[in-house]
Structure 1
């Protein structure tokens, strides 16, 4: 079999790599361990697929070296993504919120269909249920050992693309293959962890959070690294919601972060205005103008919610301000890879050529997508990286 390259992984990066290689007149063999390609694409965005973000910038990514992204993003822009899906799949994007672009059809399968159609038309080969076990060097080529159709096979190729993703989500075929291969070839790995993941609360405060399960509050969450302003969601085991998922990529075990539960109003001002009107309402009544009754009742654990505003002392007012605008949280941990959107860390960017994503140590060995130490924010950024990295690799096959 004479291929320009073998692509391991039929996710976003691998599919883009194969499709772009085909458009360049090259032949690839894509190896996918599942019984269909694009498994993670199909469930993304609740099956709607937020396939890029209009505001993509290197600052929307967690990495040892975000500047590494300049090369790939200059070659493949957000406009390129939009035009690609429009040209080859007649997909029109619609912005939902914060630059997040979804297909107008709201069907993730339409995104995957673009790739399967292109790969068929350009005669790229795809082996499904093909689980790669190992990669070994043999002179100037690589020997890929895999299980396919019930038997072990070996394929030799001068160029191999590892686009096998990260550790989330095991039931979708996630594995540590990229990381194992990197270790085998002595390629440096940045410590990995779940990212875009819900956070857990245990101990004496666990029941308080659980009592609010299902309540969403538009908030500003902050730690020493960054601030996000979106909804938080209380759960039976802690906190989730967009703002928490975003912050989780910057959170480390043992760290505190703060929540401003009312980011666009100031409690001192509200109390002052209430006092000017006579201060006859209670703290509870004032808070219920901004929060659900259940939330106000829960805040009663910390605040004198039955006191009338006119009766508040300076200490009471300060406590209310600090609780609402500077609510401290110390998570016990996170919900792990099975609940994480992506993996933080991965193949160190200083091990790769920024323009081609080829290993600097091993000619013909490429890493792309989630396997690399490039972790995007929630909202289509990780897909934009996957498309860009797949495109960049395809040019060099």
Structure 2
């Protein structure tokens, strides 16, 4: 059979592309190396799948050219995502910061939507199938695969690369899409783990480890970017939503600043205490806002058993600076297996801004995480996956 398109990768982008192509009468083949499609969808959001964000905009993405997103997001909006899933029984429930989850809190319901569409529109799926090569000829493309039955070749007019990025290896992640892009002469922006926990080593490692499990609402900043959400102390460093967010902007060697009390002004709190005599200890003031364990740990940097009335200007400044401008220099990150997504990928300069087809190779498309488009935590990466899958489907 000569397919309209072969879609390599049955994740969010690939499934949306196959579904939308099927709905307009195209015939596709989805090649998936796992034993089921949507493996990463199924584990996202702790199995609940934060499938979009109502505040989605190009400003929520990292890329060498974030303006590239305008052309894709005009074709497929957040409202389109919401309407699409509602048509198949998925009602969205908004959580914090615009995050939208299925009302059932079941990621498998999202995957089931695509399984239904692909079945009803007659799209083919080959599971447990490893793509060995993609070659272009005068008639289109030849894709050679390997599975339990041996080696096979499939033919198509067009090929869509939606094989994802390097996280998470146990789910079949690989650099296939990047290698293929380079094979065809496309430029690839340097890659790195993103939305990933950060590690602390050296003399301060034990201090962080002793606080493992403590979560604090904070404002975390680096290189002009900042996020206000929880941070989580761990045995190996820092995690939590705010840390995952800032990790996409952090580069090795940079120092991160953490405001441990972003909704209060500690300098004013100390002045208020002094108005009432300042009889309380520094530890008692801090205990109003932090866990006892964290306050005790802060004793490494501060004198906790001093009465507030007795604080010198230098002592008060040290407390304020420590709480509002806590400095951290991570040693590194936890790598691709703990990362939510990959930063970098196929350069947007190589792709047509409306169709995502390669400018150099007629009929070859790249979508989803394979492209140099990385969203914030909170449903943004899914919105990009749905939108890119839709845009490609309109052209194949």
Q: TM-score, normalised by structure 1?
A: 0.99
The aligned residue for residue 61 of structure 2 is 61
The aligned residue for residue 7 of structure 1 is 7
CA distance in 2, matches of 1:118, 1:182: 29
Is the 2:205–2:236 Cα contact (8 Å) retained in structure 1? yes
Q: Tell me, which stretches of 5 or more residues in structure 2 are unaligned? A: none
State the shift of 1:121 in Å: 0.3
State the shift of 1:140 in Å: 4.5
The aligned residue for residue 392 of structure 1 is 391
State the shift of 1:148 in Å: 2.4
The aligned residue for residue 21 of structure 2 is 21
Is the partner of 2:394 in helix, strand or coil?
A: helix
CA distance in 2, matches of 1:134, 1:243: 40
Is the 2:52–2:380 Cα contact (8 Å) retained in structure 1? yes
Q: Does 1:217 align with 2:216?
A: yes
CA distance in 2, matches of 1:255, 1:355: 36
The aligned residue for residue 324 of structure 2 is 325
The aligned residue for residue 172 of structure 1 is 171
Q: TM-score, normalised by structure 2?
A: 0.99
CA distance in 2, matches of 1:273, 1:225: 32
Which stretch shifts more, 126-135 or 337-346?
Answer: 126-135
Is the 2:29–2:126 Cα contact (8 Å) retained in structure 1? yes
The aligned residue for residue 340 of structure 2 is 341
* Count of equivalent residues: 396
The aligned residue for residue 123 of structure 1 is 122
The aligned residue for residue 267 of structure 1 is 266
The aligned residue for residue 283 of structure 2 is 284
Is the partner of 1:252 in helix, strand or coil?
A: coil
Is the partner of 2:343 in helix, strand or coil?
A: strand
CA distance in 1, matches of 2:134, 2:192: 24
State the shift of 1:155 in Å: 1.5
The aligned residue for residue 47 of structure 2 is 47
State the shift of 1:149 in Å: 3.0
The aligned residue for residue 80 of structure 1 is 80
Is the 2:223–2:249 Cα contact (8 Å) retained in structure 1? no
- Moved segments of 4+, more than 6 Å: none
State the shift of 1:267 in Å: 1.0
Q: Tell me, which stretches of 5 or more residues in structure 1 are unaligned? A: none
CA distance in 2, matches of 1:310, 1:109: 58
State the shift of 1:43 in Å: 0.3
Output aligned runs, 1:183-332, within 5 Å.
183-332=182-331
Summarize deviations over 1:60-103 as a string: whole Å, max 9, x none. 0000000000011000000000000010x211000011000000
CA distance in 1, matches of 2:169, 2:138: 34
Is the 1:225–1:250 Cα contact (8 Å) retained in structure 2? no
Q: Does 1:99 align with 2:98?
A: yes
Is the 2:163–2:176 Cα contact (8 Å) retained in structure 1? yes
CA distance in 2, matches of 1:371, 1:239: 27
Summarize deviations over 1:274-293 as a string: whole Å, max 9, x none. 00000000000000000000
Is the partner of 1:67 in helix, strand or coil?
A: helix
Is the partner of 1:396 in helix, strand or coil?
A: coil
Instruction: Give the aligned CA root-mean-square deviation in angstroms.
Output: 0.7
Which stretch shifts more, 139-148 or 292-301?
Answer: 139-148
Q: Does 1:38 align with 2:41?
A: no
CA distance in 2, matches of 1:260, 1:313: 22
State the shift of 1:119 in Å: 0.4
State the shift of 1:311 in Å: 0.5
Is the 2:261–2:323 Cα contact (8 Å) retained in structure 1? yes
